[in-house]
Amino acid sequence: MKNHTYLFLILGVLFVGFGIFSLLVYLTKGKNNYFLRKKLAIGASVISLTFAANGCKPVVTCYVRAIDPMISSQDSVNHDQQIVLLKSNNKLSFNYTTYNYNYLKYSLDNDNQTISSGDCVLQSQEGYNYLLLIEFPHVLETGMYKLVIYYFDEKITDKNKDLVFSKNYNIKVVE
């Protein structure tokens, strides 16, 4: 408000002037072109200054915000939002849409113990849409698992380990 104090005062004066010229146009039944032109000019000024006072205030940041990728399972998902996987199947496939993150890894855990981890395979690129494939090295036993997909925009080194983002999924393996 400190930068707009004079702007609000000018708007107040213009609003009063708009009211006076509106009354004069009403009294002359719109036949006086001078009053009509002044009313329209003041009205346009009020609208433009109101926009300047309350208009689009840009969000100032010091970085470009990355858009989070969208990862959705192609395998069946039950009502508890768990991915249901048959015991005989050792592959999971996802639709993956991203603009920035081209490196993906996964980790499959069972009771805080890592069962499997490795690189995800990106297949069939169509613009920013990919088919993401995860193949486990062995057949999983029945039970509940937690799958974490890590995505990042550059290869992981010791320097940038804190730049990793992840998405979690619950997997239910059935007979």
Considering the domain architecture, whether residues 112 and 155 belong to the same structural domain is answered as: yes
Q: What is the mean pLDDT of each run of 10 residues along the chain (175 residues)?
A: 69 90 92 92 87 64 66 77 84 80 82 83 76 83 86 61 70 85
Structural domain span for residue 33: 2-54
- Whether residue 60 is contained in a domain is answered as no
Dmax over CA atoms of the chain, in Å, equals: 90
CA atoms within 13 A on the CB side of 110: 11
pLDDT for 33 equals 92
Whole-structure pTM value? 0.54
> How many domains are contained in the chain?
2
Considering the domain architecture, whether residues 115 and 169 belong to the same structural domain is answered as: yes
- Whether residue 62 is contained in a domain is answered as no
Neighbours of 101 (CB within 10 A): 17
- Whether residue 65 is contained in a domain is answered as no
